[in-house]
Homo-oligomer: A and B are copies of this chain.
């Protein structure tokens, strides 16, 4: 092999960033890889617009720089799959379609390395792709799929390979974090913060995957596979998004020296793996509470090394592309095996029910402004053997009366049962469903 030849499929935000680094810094990355790295082909249906924005040479594009129909693009991808001069494909098309899954599988089967930022495909259908890469003896690189510029994949796979990871806790969705930070810092309601995020380019026109927690869930699935050698099927991962977070919740968090963040968490406890994505009250002394805007941050707790924190930009064209290119360099340096094969022996653990994991919680009840409410809630919690940590002031929030209780660690199921009883037995006193949030 005289050079390591790259094709890019889909030249949008991340793809065009990768093309820019590959062309501008070809000398630097070739030196590091120990072999010339060459971008030789780009397939994009909107080549003329990509060329206009990026300044990339038209002859790099399949079709010479003209627009392609989907059918033509498909044919061009087939040509790349059968082109033995191409060593590595960067997939930045996105989505989880059968068509793309087949193309990615065929790329790996053809003996080409595959680098992708496609967290949805990897989380939902990654096992087959991993197996195809291992079988073909090629690498499936996906540093760019989790936390953008933070090199969390290489850290989990390599840097802590002399250790046992006990837990991973992190802010992994920049859109949600941008919205929660805006709500907190500028007293905005959710819809206004979301629309500002969309205007600023931090949220998509359809933000469901981000604000619903699905995107964070995809990333957590990928990390649990690497850190604990174990697949949590995406559809079984407990995920709550941030759409129900109100300004009153944000205010209350501030009053108790917390910030609300969408937190991904996975941990091994008593030989079981617990994982979930949910909004949490993050105490001020926890560094995750200070992560503001579209940043991402991850806290890895190791058996021997203790806690290591990583923090950086979770998205962006060149930020995410730099992760794609670091994969490119590592793979070109070690082309003989799957650099990203999960090196964690599968733990003999089954995914456990997250609601059984004991946790400290904050409960907020909207109540009628009447004597005896604090007593009835506290008594009912005690009857369910739930230990109260602190009882908040019974406070007015605009026209509502809110009563809050912090409880010591107990399983979510135990708390849910207690809260359901309190709510059902006191229909005139407790208004609506209380909010329950873990405190970390």
Residues in A lying within 8 Å of B, measured CB to CB: 17, 21, 25, 27-29, 31-34, 143, 148-151, 154-155, 158-164, 287, 302, 304-313, 316, 318-319, 321-330, 333-334, 343-345
Flag if A154 contacts B158 (CB, 8 Å). yes
CA A238 to CA B403, docked complex, whole Å: 59
| Nearest 10 CB-CB pairings of A with B | A162-B325, A151-B159, A162-B326, A149-B305, A31-B345, A308-B312, A304-B322, A161-B329, A305-B322, A304-B318
Across the interface, A162 reaches (CB within 8 A) one of B306, B327, B344, namely B327
Copy count, this protein chain: 2
Given A160-B322, A304-B321, A305-B318, 15 more pairs with CB closer than 8 A = A21-B304, A28-B164, A31-B343, A32-B344, A151-B159, A155-B155, A158-B326, A161-B325, A161-B330, A162-B328, A287-B311, A302-B322, A305-B323, A309-B311, A309-B312
Across the interface, A161 reaches (CB within 8 A) one of B29, B155, B302, namely B29
Residue of B at shortest CB range from A341? B34
Flag if B306 contacts A312 (CB, 8 Å). yes
CA A160 to CA B325, docked complex, whole Å: 9
Across the interface, A326 reaches (CB within 8 A) one of B27, B150, B159, namely B159
CB distance from A314 to the nearest CB of B (A): 10
Residue of B at shortest CB range from A297? B309
Flag if B164 contacts A32 (CB, 8 Å). no
A-B contacts, 11 of them at CB < 8 A, read A31-B344, A32-B161, A33-B343, A151-B155, A151-B160, A154-B158, A158-B158, A163-B322, A163-B326, A305-B319, A306-B313
Flag if B326 contacts A161 (CB, 8 Å). yes
Q: Inside 8 A of A323's CB, which chain B residues have their CB?
A: 162, 305
Residue of B at shortest CB range from A325? B162
Q: Inside 8 A of A162's CB, which chain B residues have their CB?
A: 21, 29, 321-329
Residue of B at shortest CB range from A308? B312
Q: Inside 8 A of A319's CB, which chain B residues have their CB?
A: 304-306
Flag if B326 contacts A28 (CB, 8 Å). no
Q: Inside 8 A of A316's CB, which chain B residues have their CB?
A: 306
Flag if B345 contacts A32 (CB, 8 Å). yes
Residue of B at shortest CB range from A345? B31
CB distance from A277 to the nearest CB of B (A): 23
Across the interface, A310 reaches (CB within 8 A) one of B28, B161, B308, namely B308
Residue of B at shortest CB range from A320? B305
Q: Inside 8 A of A154's CB, which chain B residues have their CB?
A: 154-155, 158-159
Known: A154-B158, A158-B330. A149 touches B32 (CB 8 A): no
Q: Inside 8 A of A25's CB, which chain B residues have their CB?
A: 164
Known: A32-B343, A155-B159, A162-B328. A150 touches B304 (CB 8 A): no
Across the interface, A149 reaches (CB within 8 A) one of B27, B302, B345, namely B302
CA A21 to CA B305, docked complex, whole Å: 11
Flag if A308 contacts B29 (CB, 8 Å). no
Q: Which of A149, A305, A327, A345 has the most B CB atoms < 10 Å from its CB?
A: A305
Q: Inside 8 A of A150's CB, which chain B residues have their CB?
A: 308
Q: Inside 8 A of A325's CB, which chain B residues have their CB?
A: 161-163, 304
Q: Inside 8 A of A326's CB, which chain B residues have their CB?
A: 158-163
